[in-house]
Chains A and B, each alone.
Chain A
Amino acid sequence: MPERRPLLLLLVAPALAMVLVLFVYPLGYSLVSAFTDRGGQPSLANFAKTFDLYATDILFTLVIVVASTALTGLLAAGIGGYLVLGAHPAAVAVLRWLYRWPLFIPFIVAAQCMRTFLAKNGILNNSLDALGLIDVANMSGLLDWRGIIVTFVWKETPFVALLVSGAMAALDRASIEAARNLGAGGLRILVEILIPQVAGVMTVGLVLAFVTMLSVLSVPIMISGGSPTMITVDMAFRVNSYSDYGVANALGFVSYLIAGLAAWVYLRRNLAGGAVP
């Protein structure tokens, strides 16, 4: 006897209501607030002010997030590829043990780690100094846009690599062996055979990483306090210092647009492939 369908709907209803009330409603509220002035009239004044004050930060955010996502993708593909193709079981085992450590480390802890590691007097500079590669006295540390990228890549690579290596391991090994027998090297097999077959999974992972980076407030504040900074920091500043919800929400709308860009890339891929996620 099949279960009654209305009953199943009833089971989903509370969770659905929770998301509608505590996510969709505030989301709609932020959109309305972005497009109205303080008197409640429809207006684009918030956006004029936003681009006037924060055009640099918007660009800065876009560059950081795109660069971090690209680096994450490259590293994840490399790690996944070596885990599947690596010829030395010991090296593969070490890599498998190594790469996952940052996976569940909170962003805020990662930010604190990097705040000390990448500082002028951090372990990074001091190690390079000990190797004779740099002189700490003349170095300033990496606590700026570079530090934000390093932290994002450090934190997001294990997640994408986990998805990618899982998908790669599930592939039919016959085509890999065939390519190998024909004399293809590891890099060529990775780029021409493995990556095209796991591109769907990789895109999902990278889109999720992309949106996550756009949502993190602690990392940009803790790594690089000064200007220019990411728009998440600007949003918090507009609200905390001026109670200016209009401009904060306009910035929020810009962050939705940037995330929408990623979603569009993802959807286009799926439509082109005719596949459903």
Chain B
Amino acid sequence: MRAALGWLWRGGVLGVLAFAIFGPLANLALWAVAIQWYFPHKMPLTYGFRYWGEVFKPTSDAFASLGTSLVIAPMTVIVCLLLAVPAGYALGRRLLPGRSVILLILLLPQAFPSVAVYLNIARVFYRVGLNGTIAGVVLVHAVHGLVIAVWIAAAAFAAVDGELELAARNLGASALRTALTVTLPLAAPGLMAAAIFVFLESLDEFTGTYFVGVPDVITLPLIMFTASIAGNYQIAAITALILLVPSIAFMLLIERFLNTEMLAKVG
């Protein structure tokens, strides 16, 4: 009897939690397949994929913004990794002079609320002609993703076994060759995680694009936002689902690349 009551209690708490987590997602999914839905009807009146056709029509704004997002995100990954891989390699070595000060400066973007910074970047970009350009948006996404990318890259390099590098050097390999053929491949899974993370951050980024890109550069989150504010919940839900797929996939995959043990090595 007590055991049954215990399970009733546990089941109840887990059930409420499951409702709290999946309820909002279910509501989004319903809107994505609803055609007509208004108060006081508890469920959509008609279902269908008509709005999916509208989103994926090559001439639609949403489809164009998906294209823009898929140009910006890989460019951001490239810019970020070009900066983060060397920086992470250097930070992964304890003998870097001023290491803690450098880490502190690189962590600054996480320590300050970013809205005021973005609106001033937009002001500076406006003066140098970067406002409303793809390059401007890529730069803003890159500085946002850089912190995490450097952090993960430094952790990945710090986790590489120094004995292996020493062995390569003893066998006569140069420092550069050791870095490229021993250290880099060993750190690759971590760098891959950094790349995926930056890609997602760029794909999902809203505030920076809102100040720097709009109205000339419209990414998928901006289209979703505009549709939602205009009350066009079907379009908003479908674009939100497109943004959701990579995020969920990453959550399910992340354990392969990252573990808390590795993260604990930086700091």
Contact = CB atoms under 8 A, between A and B. Distances in A.
B240 A99 contact: no
- The majority secondary structure among interface residues of chain B is helix
B119 interface: yes
B84 A15 contact: yes
Interface stretch (A41-49, A90-98, A173-181): A90-98
B91 A12 contact: yes
Interface in A29-60: 29-30, 33
Q: How large is the interface on A (under 10, 10 to 19, 20 to 34, 35 or more residues)?
A: 35 or more
Given A15-B84, A19-B143, A19-B146, A95 B14 contact: yes
Contacts of A245: 119-120, 123
B181 interface: no
A109 B243 contact: yes
Nearest to A123: B27
B115 A112 contact: no
A239 B118 CA distance: 11
A235 B106 contact: no
B233 A116 contact: yes
B145 to A, nearest CB: 11
A5 B115 contact: no
Contacts of A146: none
B5 interface: no
A256 B115 CA distance: 10
A122 interface: yes
Contacts of A22: 121, 139-140, 143
A215 B247 contact: no
A120 B42 CA distance: 10
Contacts of A19: 105-106, 108-109, 143, 146
A57 B207 CA distance: 20
Given A9-B90, A104-B250, 12 more contacts: A3-B93, A14-B87, A15-B146, A19-B105, A24-B105, A88-B10, A98-B18, A99-B17, A117-B23, A121-B42, A236-B211, A253-B116
Interface of A: 1-3, 5, 8-9, 11-12, 14-16, 18-20, 22-27, 29-30, 33, 88, 91, 94-95, 98-118, 120-124, 126-127, 129-130, 136-137, 154, 166, 170, 208, 211, 214-218, 221-222, 232, 235-236, 239, 245, 248-249, 251-253, 255-256, 258-259, 263, 277
What are the 7 tightest A-B residue pairs by CB atom distance, in nearest-first order? A252-B116, A106-B204, A113-B24, A15-B87, A11-B86, A26-B120, A214-B113
